[in-house]
Chains A and B, each alone.
Chain A
């Protein structure tokens, strides 16, 4: 039961961070699989069934742009941060840092 509760809280905690991590990583262009690998290489494992739909949602919100392009003789959909996304990413990053600093202070008390 404790494990379930922890899992639910962990997922809640991760949910917000994932969008931020994806936006940060997409300052450089990626397609779905390489993005997942890049995030995983930096210690953030993200399930493909979470990541791929998330990319489409962020694109729908105008934060990402995508383009089908050929690479290694196959068409792939490349995503990158849009101009609007860059602004939002900056704001989210500020917010994240504020929360982080506040949390540090609370935890150290």
Chain B
């Protein structure tokens, strides 16, 4: 059962003679519970594709259906609400609010989702414990290493139990050990919680735990690599 269906996605930037055609008609489906990696060289359009799928950007053409909702038709405010309720994000640069402690960073989206303070705090603690940072609830991002910040970022992304977790090069700023820990964590979330994950990476070793890898080049999908039997009824 597909949770994301994207049809004929085009993304152009600029105007007139200066138009850059970054995505040139991409069709893609992501199955519920699937761990999908998008790979490609710089400029291939992998991040741009993820932004279209994750409702952070609007395609110039085409449609994106997520969990039955045509997200292209949503207003800005509805898109924000949709992202809050349905999607989780792990960004390349951790993207934590520097003034908030680890627990507060995780709590903010939960509070937006109408959880009361106490419940949000309990969920945040459980999520932080889950990424191996028990006891660091009160630490500010600046008091955590890059790997730890990214794990808090993962805790924030999954605490609200999103339907899809998007990770945009989550290991790009990390050393190998921390990068591996982060990938292991995302893989664990996918395998144990049946969390749908879409991850952009340009490091093949980090994509090896995925179910499927989409290879992109010049704004087109040039290859799809199936790594597991997911989606073939054997997962």
Partners in one complex: no
Binding site for B on A (CB under 8 A): none
Binding site for A on B (CB under 8 A): none
